[in-house]
Amino acid sequence: METLLGSFISYILIYRYAALFAFVFFAAVILPLPGNAMLLAIGALSFQGHFNIWLSLTVAVIANTLGDLFDYSITRKYGEDIIHWLGMGESRFFLRLKEELVVDAAVTVFITRFAGSLSPIASLLSGLVRVPFRTFIVYDLLGNLIEPAAALFIGYTAGNYWNNFSGYLSIFAGVIAVSIVIFVLVRIHNRITAKYRR
C-alpha cells in the first residue's frame, strides 16, 4: 500500500491539482484508492509549501462531489431498468429497502461520506432508490466538506511526520466505516421490525 501511495504522490507532485482531482474523483466513483491517506499526504505537502491547503480542499470537495453525483446519476437513470431486468422490481425486500433508505436519506448520505470506500455504494443506492436530488446534494456536499478537510488539516498539522499517522488514520477510517454500516442497518431493521409489530 505504501508503494502504491508513493507512486500516486509522485504523480500528484508532477501534475499537481489536476492529478489530485482525478485521484479523488475516481476514488469517489468506486475505485478502491487510499483517499484518506492521500489527503493526509497532501496536507503534509501543503505544510512543506508544495500545495495550497485551501485550493487542495476546494479541489478535493469538487472532485468528491462530482464523483458522488456520477454514481447517483447512473443508478438514478438506469437503476430501475437493471432492477427490473434482474426480476427484483417487485421483490418485497427491495421495496422495503427502498422505502427505508428514502426515509433515512439525509442521515445516510451524510454519514456515509465518512465511510471511505463504502461511500460510493451509498451514492449508487441513493440514485437507485431515487433519493431527492436536493437532499442528496446538500448532505453530500456537507459531508464532502468535512471529511477531506479533516484529513488535510491532520496532515498539515502533522507536517513532516504525517506518515506516522497514515496507518492509524486507515484503521480509524475502517472502524468508522463499519460503525456507519451497522448504524444504518440497525436503524432500518428497527423500523421494519416496528412496522411488523403493529
- How many domains is the chain built from? 1
Q: What is the pLDDT of residue 140?
A: 92
Q: What is the pLDDT of residue 54?
A: 95
91 three-state secondary structure: coil
pLDDT band, very low/low/confident/very high, at 154 (cuts 50, 70, 90): confident
177 three-state secondary structure: helix
Q: What is the pLDDT of residue 97?
A: 64
Q: Are 71 and 41 in contact (CB under 8 A)?
A: no
> Average pLDDT for residues 129-137, to the nearest whole number?
88
pLDDT band, very low/low/confident/very high, at 52 (cuts 50, 70, 90): very high
Q: What is the pLDDT of residue 134?
A: 92
User: pTM of the full predicted structure?
Assistant: 0.76
Rounded Cα gap, residues 50 and 99, in angstroms: 47
Higher pLDDT, 117 or 44: 44
Q: What is the pLDDT of residue 69?
A: 94
Asked if the model's pLDDT at residue 91 lies above 70, the reply is: no
Q: What is the pLDDT of residue 7?
A: 75
Boundaries of domain holding 140: 2-197
What letters, b where the CB count within 10 A reaches 16 and e where it falls short, cover 143-157? Answer: bbbebbbbbbbbbbe
> Average pLDDT for residues 31-52, to the nearest whole number?
85
52 three-state secondary structure: coil
Q: Are 113 and 151 in contact (CB under 8 A)?
A: no
What average pLDDT is seen over the chain? Answer: 79
pLDDT band, very low/low/confident/very high, at 60 (cuts 50, 70, 90): very high
Rounded Cα gap, residues 73 and 145, in angstroms: 20
Q: Are 28 and 119 in contact (CB under 8 A)?
A: yes
